[in-house]
Chain A
Amino acid sequence: MIRTCGLSKSFGAKRVLDSVDLSVATGESLCVIGQSGTGKSVLLKCILGLERPDAGQVLWNGQPLDRARFMARFGMLFQGAALFDSLSVWQNVAFRLRQRMDDRRARAIALDKLARVGLASDIADLMPAQLSGGMAKRVGLARAIADDPAVIFFDEPTTGLDPIRARAIDALIRGIVTETGATAITITHDMASCRIIGDRVALLADGRIAHDGPVADMDRAPALAGFLGIPSAGAGDHAR
């Protein structure tokens, strides 16, 4: 289980996270939603240790998170995929694997993961600049799952994709999370994604958790109705 306790972060006078308490059970898929600029990505970066919180801590299975050990157990899909420009597709996917095994084995695993995300092996030697946005996202996903992580983070996985490709990525993520039993934390403002990927949804507003509940109850939650911009809860599916 991952748990944040009183996580706070400010940039100058702007308080982005205000004592955020959130927990994700092992094997659970949590979606964190919120309007742009409400600190969703900052929350994710604080959990990952990419940003240092001003206050609060992150616990993993009840213990303060040891980042050196934790980093080896999780995968991350970045908003823009964040593939390394100077490495080929398979080298990107096998980046961590190559630190502890020879290139032949690492490449074989990378090709397997590329197949898992629906990419043919003939793109393995292409460079990231030669990929479309959707393909780059899939390669990023393959890199996130390359080392069979226990926890996977997804930062806006469908941003910049058309609805058809976005739903395909959602389905892929859901399939991988279910199949591997990994814990998943997804940052998104795409409600359709949330319905497919998440077991639970948390709304971040004004730096605090304004709602936390099952995805199945999303349409009946007043706080989410406000976020969706609908006059009252249960007024229908207003995704996207």
Chain B
Amino acid sequence: MTPIRAIGRPALRATRTIGAVALFAMRGLSGFGTPRMILRQVMQIGWLSLPVVGLTALFTGAALALQIHSGGERFQAGDVVPAIVAIGMVRELGPVLGGLMVAARVASSIAAEIGTMRVTEQIDALVTLSTDPVRWLVTPRLWAAILCMPVLVATGDIIGIMGGWLVGTTSLGFNSASYIANSWAYLEPWDVTSGLIKGAVFGLVVALSGCWFGMRSGRGAAGVGRATTNAVVAAAVGILAANFALTGLFFE
């Protein structure tokens, strides 16, 4: 009985948590919030994440071009740099790295903000003022993240491809026009669309982690700190797991 219990208890706990998170997400997504609330979160989550997502994409695209060129040269396939950089950025690296950078920046800030509100009784105050904290705090953040992430991913894709082009034309001897033509030639609409869908899902994962752990923050600075750490870890793992599942779904 003991081994069964040892497996069963954590399994039941995990199932309960997954169910609770799903219900929390459904409650959060059942409304939309006022345009002003959404816009404020769009600025926080989307606009302010642009520099970090852009820089990450730029350096990733540039490094990818160098790697593919040096690896491809081993079997006389150095010419595939533009196509591989474009496909790699758009399908995989743009959404995943963009998602991870947003997770680091946004999941932590959402968890810290909501956690502090819990500790200072602001969430209780919302309830006493006849306001549902989920509708007020969670809904705008979830929708803003879902709307912003595809835009961030698209921006990151373009900047990443530009990073590859910069290295390709300045260090690897590619002609600028042919590099751009080759980048587009092998790119299919579904490559781009799937990346944008991934972005929207990752946006949900990031905001949901921040809101979930923030709303369940423990007391004091230590409680908020723990909530923040848990939110970032959960968001990062969630993005990688969701990426695997979505890639299997889209391309297998």
Residues of A within 8 A of B (CB): 45, 48-50, 68, 71-72, 74-76, 78-80, 82-85, 95-96, 99, 143
Contact = CB atoms under 8 A, between A and B. Distances in A.
Contact of A99 (B120, B124, B127, B130): B130
B173 to A, nearest CB: 53
Contact of A76 (B117, B128, B131): B128
A80 B130 contact: no
A48 B128 contact: yes
Interface residues of B, number: 12
B130 A85 contact: no
A72 B120 contact: no
Contacts of B117: 84-85
Interface string B119-132: 01110110111110
Nearest to A153: B128
Contacts of A96: 129-131
Contacts, number: 45
B122 A84 contact: yes
B130 A72 contact: yes
At the interface, is chain B mostly helix, strand, loop or mixed? helix
A76 B131 CA distance: 14
14 contacts: A45-B124, A48-B124, A48-B128, A50-B127, A71-B128, A74-B128, A76-B128, A78-B125, A80-B120, A84-B117, A84-B125, A95-B129, A96-B131, A143-B129
Q: Which 9 A-B pairs have the closest CB atoms?
A: A82-B125, A82-B121, A76-B128, A71-B130, A78-B121, A96-B129, A82-B122, A50-B124, A95-B129
Contact of B125 (A49, A72, A74, A76): A76
A85 B128 contact: no
Contacts of A143: 129
Contacts of B125: 76, 78, 82-84
Contacts of B121: 78-80, 82
Contacts of A84: 117, 122, 125
Contacts of B129: 71, 95-96, 143
A82 B131 CA distance: 14
B128 to A, nearest CB: 4
B210 to A, nearest CB: 16
A177 to B, nearest CB: 18
Nearest to A78: B121
A226 B120 CA distance: 32
A79 B117 CA distance: 14
A85 B124 contact: no
Contacts of A71: 127-130
Nearest to B116: A85
A67 to B, nearest CB: 9
Interface string B95-128: 0000000000000000000001100111011011
A56 B120 CA distance: 28
Nearest to B136: A84
Contacts of B120: 80, 82
A143 B129 CA distance: 9
A17 to B, nearest CB: 18
Given A82-B121, A95-B129, 14 more contacts: A49-B127, A68-B130, A74-B128, A75-B128, A76-B125, A76-B128, A78-B121, A80-B121, A82-B125, A84-B117, A85-B122, A95-B131, A96-B130, A99-B130
